[in-house]
Amino acid sequence: MNARIPIHALTGDATCAEPPVLRERGQREVFCGLTGIVWLHRKMQDAFFLVVGSRTCAHLLQSAAGVMIFAEPRFATAIIDERDLAGLADVHEELDTVVQRLLARRPDIRVLFLVGSCPSEVIKLDLSRAAERLSQIHSPAVRVLNYSGSGIETTFTEGEDACLASLVPQMAQVGSAVNEPDLLVVGSLADVVEDQFRRLFAAMGIARVAFLPSRRASELPAVGPNTRMLLAQPFLAATAKALEDRGARRIPAPYPLGVEGTQAWLMAAAETMGVDPARADAALAPARQRATQALAAARTRLAGKRIFFFPDSQLEVPLARFVARELGMVLTEVGSPYLHATHLDEERALLPAGTQLSEGQDVERQLDRCRAAAPDLVVCGLGLANPLEAEGYATKWSIELVFTPIQGFEQAGDLAALFDRPLQRRARLAA
């Protein structure tokens, strides 16, 4: 958590019909980027995440991942202790020993991420140098990469962005590799969702599709000037920039949340890849119809209910678009830690006129606005949920919206249920 002197600014990047975005720089209540390891380690099956951090970092990971049963997790923490912090020990030497032991015990590891934390940053541990050195020692069996997940540099989903950006220099140039996709889907998706999208792309006639991250981090797709990238997540600014620097071009689209978002996302890819729109639409029709039906019951219960989003995951704008347009909910305020200048253009255009957006956070002021708005449902981080529940508000933990597969047609009903359940529970308690 960071406490800073609050600076409030209203900036005029809206049209006269729109309220200006409220930009705040005050105390924040968000997770750090280490949290991303919880879903990334499930996705990349030959990767391992070694956090170079403190016992606090280890606790955070264990409690965040503790909800999942895993025989052998693909992450651990190399603890920096007092001796290291006081400069009494050679941290690089200790790290080499830890990595040596880990790789001897886990020969299945092909890519090892050294993940920076607040303590490693405080002692200015150069993890890129360590990664280079360890890559040389363990080459070619293991590639060692590094990125920062520290709370000083990253919030929550920015950890995934930093991790994926560290993979981009490892991707081969188009023209030199076997796996050369025309379409690159960027952003970690649950395997079941990735498989569904693969089937839909194939049905539309798009065959050469690859995903970043791939299930095996050691088998990355190639990238080059012909690569068209379709962002599956709205929090990938650094990764998209790194891919653009390699020649890839982004396909402008909303994100695949809900029926409308998924349809627009897939059709944007089809259009860019030159697929006949009628053929693409026909290929999507059965799944789209199932999804539309799956939303009907939740919509009946949620239409007209007021919802307030605290900034947490950067998924807030696409989620707000979904609940407003497909479930009929009323947006009171939509907060996000960061509003990307172009990656959210298509989403913002779909928000109801007059939606109040906020970027960054000054938590006390935002709590005041939330109470004044008196919403039926509040989407927020874990730290705010309990106090708000105690005040009588129904809440939804934003972390659940990141951990649960919510993208695509088949998940639209589950996504609606995530907003529906807290209100139903509260109604039962009140009865």
The answer to the question of residue 150 lying near ligand SF4 (CB under 6 A) is yes
Of 141, 118, 125, 129, give the one whose Cα is nearest residue 48. 141
Q: Which is nearer to ligand SF4, 117 or 227 (CB)?
A: 117
- Report how far residue 226's alpha carbon sits from residue 65's, in angstroms, rounded to the nearest whole number: 38
Which of 54/398 has CB closer to ligand SF4?
Answer: 54
Rounded to whole angstroms, the Cα distance separating 255 from 321 reads 10
Q: How many CB atoms lie within 10 A of CB 245?
A: 11
Subset of 12-41 contacting ligand SF4 (CB under 6 A): 32, 34
- What is the chain's length? 431
* ω into 213 cis (within 30 of 0): yes
Q: Is 54 in the site for ligand SF4 (CB under 6 A)?
A: yes
Contact 242, 165 (CB under 8 A): yes
Q: Which stretch binds ligand SF4 (CB under 6 A): 2-10, 53-61, 250-258, 275-283?
A: 53-61
Site for ligand SF4 contains 148 (CB under 6 A): no
Q: Which residues lie across from 250 on neighbouring strands?
A: 229
Q: Which two tokens stand for residue 116?
A: 């920076």
Specify the residue, 151 or 181, whose C-beta has the smaller distance to ligand SF4.
151
Q: Which of 118, 144, 231, 370 binds ligand SF4 (CB under 6 A)?
A: 118
Task: Give the residue with the Cβ less far from ligand SF4, 57 or 95.
Answer: 57
The residue from 56, 135, 179, 226 that contacts ligand SF4 (CB under 6 A) is 56
Phi then psi for 230, rounded to 5 degrees? -120, 110
Phi-psi region of 392 (alpha: psi -120 to 50; beta: other; left: phi over 0): left
How many residues touch ligand SF4 under the rule CB under 6 A: the total is 11
Piece in contact with ligand SF4 (CB under 6 A), picked from 48-56, 86-94, 236-244, 319-327: 48-56
User: Binding residue for ligand SF4 (CB under 6 A) from 26, 151, 337, 413?
Assistant: 151
Query: Is the Cβ–Cβ distance between 148 and 193 less than 8 Å?
Result: no
- Which of 85/330 has CB closer to ligand SF4? 85
Residue number of the CB atom closest to ligand SF4: 151
117: contact with ligand SF4 by CB under 6 A: yes
- The alpha carbon of residue 286 and the mean position of all alpha carbons in its chain are separated, in whole angstroms, by 28
The interface mask with ligand SF4, positions 315-334, x = CB under 6 A, is --------------------
Does 80 bind ligand SF4 (CB under 6 A)? Our answer is no
Angle at 103 between CA 101 and CA 106, to 5 degrees: 110
Q: Does 65 bind ligand SF4 (CB under 6 A)?
A: no
Note whether 53 binds ligand SF4 by CB under 6 A. Answer: yes
- How far, CA to CA in Å, does 258 sit from each of 85, 133, 180, 185, 287? 48, 45, 30, 18, 12
Q: Which residues bind ligand SF4 (CB under 6 A)?
A: 32, 34, 53-54, 56-57, 60, 117-118, 150-151
